[in-house]
Amino acid sequence: MAKLEEKKVSSKKAFSGRLLKLRVDTVKLPNGIRTTREVVEHPGAVTIIALTDRTELVLVRQFRTAAGQVLLELPAGVPFRGEKGERTAKRELEEETGYRAKSVRKVYAGYASPGYSDELIQFYFAKDLKKHKQMTEEDELINVELVDLGLCLDLVRTGRIRDNKTVVGIMIARQIAGGDW
């Protein structure tokens, strides 16, 4: 079996923004070839799989500049410095949707796109929801939608849900609702 590990030779910061950083690493491959890797550094995120008592997922609809369109997604956000994931999940759920969850637990963590980014997304399952007031930030325009879990897969199949963290979250929600998680 071939060795796969790359050895970092050097690293150079190319960009540093409010949320993201970009670095360019020079690496040596196991076969001796040197090449570069561009890496987006991300602080990590949480995604909230919030399921109502009526087996509806709490989804948000918002414009995403990178995609150039309005997307239907699970609520998500970035932790404040030093903030625990569970706290971030509760805070983001309430801010973006107005729902408070009595129960929140981490169910999964996975890389968003490891070919170029170190972003790790933590998935939290939220239940026992109670509606309060949505408290979005001034630069967030978000519509909240409750979508029957059974319909969510159809929305994926027909291309009306195209956000990968949401697709993963829907699969997890179906497993949890079916008692298989």
Cite the active site residues: 138
Tell me how many helices (H) and strands (E) the chain has. Answer: 3, 10
According to DSSP, residue 65 is labeled: T
Name the amino acid, one letter, at 99.
Y
User: Which secondary structure element, helix H or strand E, spans residue 34, and what is its range?
Assistant: strand 34-41
According to DSSP, residue 116 is labeled: T
Reduce the DSSP state of residue 47 to 3 states and report it.
strand
Q: Per the structure block, which two tokens stand in for 139?
A: 């630069």
